[in-house]
Amino acid sequence: MSLDYENDGALHAKLIEEVLSQYPDKAAKRRKKHLSVAKSEDEAGEEGEVLSECDVKSNIKSIPGVMTIRGCAYAGSKGVVWGPVKDMVHISHGPVGCGQYSWSQRRNYYVGTTGIDTFGTMQFTSDFQEKDIVFGGDKKLEQIIDEIEGLFPLNNGITVQSECPIGLIGDDTEAVSRNKAKEHGKTIVPVRCEGFRGVSQSLGHHIANDSIRDWVFEKKDVEFEAGPYDVNVIGDYNIGGDAWASRILLEEIGLRVVGNWSGDATLAEIERAPKAKLNLIHCYRSMNYICRHMEEKYGIAWMEYNFFGPSQIEDSLRKIAKHFGPEIEEKTEKVITKYRPLVDAVIAKYRPRLEGNTVMLYVGGLRPRHVITAYEDLGMVIVGTGYEFAHNDDYQRTGHYVRNGTLIYDDVTGYELEKFIEGVRPNLVGSGIKEKYPVQKMGIPFRQMHSWDYSGPYHGYDGFAIFARDVDLAINNPVWGLYDAPWKESPRRGRAMAAE
């Protein structure tokens, strides 16, 4: 089902040159390393055909004053890795803002009695005041933990998500956590994810992974009978129910998902993870660390997979099945056959409406490559993509997905993204809430690719149908044709520059 196309590399190179010319010299020199055009790569990689090479620098400090779209380590830990663990209370430790702005915003779906045995869509904060900065917040943290135990006794653990001031004033959240864990007989995890650490959300993921290793694993006797087909799903945050639409497939091919990290997860699912046979990792960027650790320490193999769009789903299911042998492989083929009519019907319905439409993406650390084939399954063309917080290994993997001539932008700035979109005039942009409204003002359809624009799931076969519907409703809505007042001569829109 894969498409064969090349992008207009010359136009993209020109756009890069144009945006760089607008920066002060020092900034231009730094930004240059983050922008490129994907080049053809002849040699085939180990895991299949490499389509191109994306040669940009990444995981480097953002430049001040340019409007980076990135967040911080706290966002990576509380917002991404720990926040979705539903039966624990996550304290945003420090001033009120961080917890307030991230409250209920990532759509990590779960089932539970919120406020009683589940705490996902709540905001627990130590609401630091000046006196806490001056005298330290450890005493306050102790009291907070006690108050949580009194008011929310069914919590199965607590995490302390440090905000910027904690690391600066020298609080010892580790000591508080250790003492209080002993006193209450609960898991209490201090996470040093102060926002100034690292250059983006990414270090927060890493720190959060490490805190699981150091404060959760091997801390309790885990009574659990492991089976031969036990897997953990790692790095699925259940945005709009993604993990559920994935789980249903994995169960259908005969596997037992003993833990899902961390969407809809309980602490128990994390504690017993080392007993599984295989770690299936979806968001490589945010959770590869713990997979590597489990491999080294417990000998659990890990495997990347991709459940966006039927081409990738089929590939991934077969790859996973191969790991477990003929019995699972046979079931897998049946599952693929079972869903084929749905896939065919969805593509028959939407591909004619979307064929040839161009897409620009800018998302976090996985989706800028992972979703590409799903668009291509619908006949769409990816003309540009980039990551907020990818590392070099992500860009290497991106080469397996993007075509020659694709515009690549790392840690893009507001200015660059606007100019690139203006210059390319794609038919759809997929990015985040901060990018949504500027793009729509320009008359270009947009879908949020962090939150699925309040839709989803997009994973799995059930998700692909929703994805196709959403892309279609974004692009083919009549509102885009109403932008020009009929009594005004209309400036020509569409892919003006690309056509030149």
Partner 1 sequence: MPQSAEKILDHAPLFREPEYRQMLAEKKLNFECPHPDQIVTDQREFTKTWEYREMNLAREALVVNPAKACQPLGAVFAAAGFERTMSFVHGSQGCVAYYRSHLSRHFKEPASAVSSSMTEDAAVFGGLKNMVDGLANTYQLYDPKMIAVSTTCMAEVIGDDLHSFIENAKDENSVPRDFDVPFAHTPAFVGSHVDGYDGMVKGILEHFWKGQERTEAAGTVNIIPGFDGFCVGNNRELKRLLDLMGVSYTFIQDASDQFDTPSDGEYRMYDGGTKIEDVKKALNAEATLSLQHYNTRKTLEYCEQVGQATASFHYPLGVQATDEFLMELSAISGKEIPETIRLERGRLIDAMADSQSWLHGKKYAIYGDPDFVHAMARFVMETGGEPTHCLATNGTSAWEAEMKELLASSPFGKDAQVWPGKDLWAMRSLLFTEPVDLLIGNSYGKYLERDTGTPLIRLMFPIFDRHHHHRFALMGYQGGLRVLTTILDKIFDKLDRETSETGVTDYSYDLTR
Smallest gap from Cβ 27 to partner 1, in A, equals 5
Site string for partner 1, 329-348 (x = CB under 8 A): ---------xx--x--xx-x
Check 38, 75, 390, 474 and give the catalytic one: 75
Using the rule CB under 8 A, is 476 a contact of partner 1? Answer: no
Using CB under 8 A, pick the residue from 57, 469, 476, 498 that binds partner 1: 469
Scan residues 133-152 and list those touching partner 1 (CB under 8 A): 133, 140, 143-144, 147-148, 150-151
Which residue reads 């660390």 in tokens? 289
Under a CB-based contact definition with an 8 Å cutoff, are residues 241 and 109 in contact? yes
Using the rule CB under 8 A, is 461 a contact of partner 1? Answer: yes
Report, in angstroms and rounded to the nearest whole number, the Rg of the chain calculated over CA atoms.
Answer: 23
Smallest gap from Cβ 414 to partner 1, in A, equals 7
Binding segment toward partner 1, per CB under 8 A, in 177-185, 274-282, 357-365, 477-485: 477-485
Question: Which pair of structure tokens corresponds to residue 256?
Answer: 């037992």
Of the two residues 3 and 342, which places its CB atom closer to partner 1 in the complex? 342
Site string for partner 1, 399-418 (x = CB under 8 A): --------------xxx--x
DSSP 32-97: HTTEEE-EE--S-BTTB---EE-----S-PPPTTS-B----HHIIIIIIIITT-TTSEEEEESSSH
Instruction: Give the end-to-end CA distance of the chain in Å, rounded to a whole number.
Output: 30
376 burial (CB, 10 Å; 0-12 / 13-18 / 19+) is: buried
Using CB under 8 A, pick the residue from 18, 251, 355, 393 that binds partner 1: 251
Smallest gap from Cβ 45 to partner 1, in A, equals 33
370 a catalytic residue: no
Of the two residues 196 and 392, which places its CB atom closer to partner 1 in the complex? 196
Please state, in angstroms and rounded to a whole number, the distance separating the CA atoms of residues 87 and 93.
18
Site size for partner 1, by CB under 8 A? Answer: 123
Smallest gap from Cβ 41 to partner 1, in A, equals 33
Scan residues 205-244 and list those touching partner 1 (CB under 8 A): 240-241, 244
10 a catalytic residue: no
Using the rule CB under 8 A, is 60 a contact of partner 1? Answer: no
Site string for partner 1, 271-310 (x = CB under 8 A): ----------------------------------------
Site string for partner 1, 18-57 (x = CB under 8 A): ----xxx-xx------------------------------
Check 54, 72, 245, 276 and give the catalytic one: 72
Site string for partner 1, 347-366 (x = CB under 8 A): -xx-----------------
Residue 147: Cβ within 10 Å count: 11
Beta bridge partners, 37, equal: 407
Which residue reads 């130590």 in tokens? 126
Of the two residues 167 and 384, which places its CB atom closer to partner 1 in the complex? 167
Of the two residues 140 and 282, which places its CB atom closer to partner 1 in the complex? 140
Of the two residues 53 and 435, which places its CB atom closer to partner 1 in the complex? 435
106 a catalytic residue: yes
Using the rule CB under 8 A, is 258 a contact of partner 1? Answer: yes
Helix (H) or strand (E) holding 429: strand 428-431
Scan residues 77-106 and list those touching partner 1 (CB under 8 A): 87, 94-98, 100-103, 105
Question: Which pair of structure tokens corresponds to residue 289?
Answer: 């660390």
Q: Where are any strands of DSSP class E within 116-255?
A: 124-125, 157-162, 187-191, 230-236
Using CB under 8 A, pick the residue from 13, 20, 67, 498 that binds partner 1: 67
Cα→Cα distances 268→82, 135, 156, 272, 332, Å = 14, 36, 9, 6, 28
CA atoms lying within 13 Å on the CB side of residue 112:
23
Using the rule CB under 8 A, is 386 a contact of partner 1? Answer: no
> Which of 267, 239, 272 lies closest to 257 in space, CA to CA?
272
Of the two residues 48 and 65, which places its CB atom closer to partner 1 in the complex? 65
Binding segment toward partner 1, per CB under 8 A, in 3-11, 65-73, 178-186, 315-323: 65-73
Smallest gap from Cβ 129 to partner 1, in A, equals 6
> Which of 245, 249, 255, 295 lies closest to 274 in space, CA to CA?
295
All residues at 6 or more sequence positions from 397 whose CB lies less than 8 Å from its CB, including other chains = 284, 369
Beta bridge partners, 187, equal: 157
> Which of 42, 39, 51 lies closest to 12 in space, CA to CA?
39
Q: Which residue blocks in 92-151 are alpha helix, DSSP H?
A: 97-101, 130-135, 138-151
> Which of 174, 176, 84, 167 lies closest to 139 in space, CA to CA?
176
Beta bridge partners, 384, equal: 360, 407
Scan residues 419-438 and list those touching partner 1 (CB under 8 A): 432-434, 436-438
DSSP reduced 3-state for 176: helix
Please state, in angstroms and rounded to a whole number, the distance separating the CA atoms of residues 447 and 431.
7
Of the two residues 70 and 403, which places its CB atom closer to partner 1 in the complex? 70
Question: Is the bond into 262 cis (omega within 30 degrees of 0)?
Answer: yes
Check 106, 272, 370, 450 and give the catalytic one: 106
Using CB under 8 A, pick the residue from 247, 277, 282, 403 that binds partner 1: 247
Which residue reads 């979307």 in tokens? 354
Scan residues 158-187 and list those touching partner 1 (CB under 8 A): 163-165, 167-169
Q: What is the DSSP letter of 263?
A: T
Smallest gap from Cβ 436 to partner 1, in A, equals 7
291 a catalytic residue: no
Smallest gap from Cβ 330 to partner 1, in A, equals 19
Report, as residue numbers or ranges, the catalytic residues: 72, 75, 106, 205
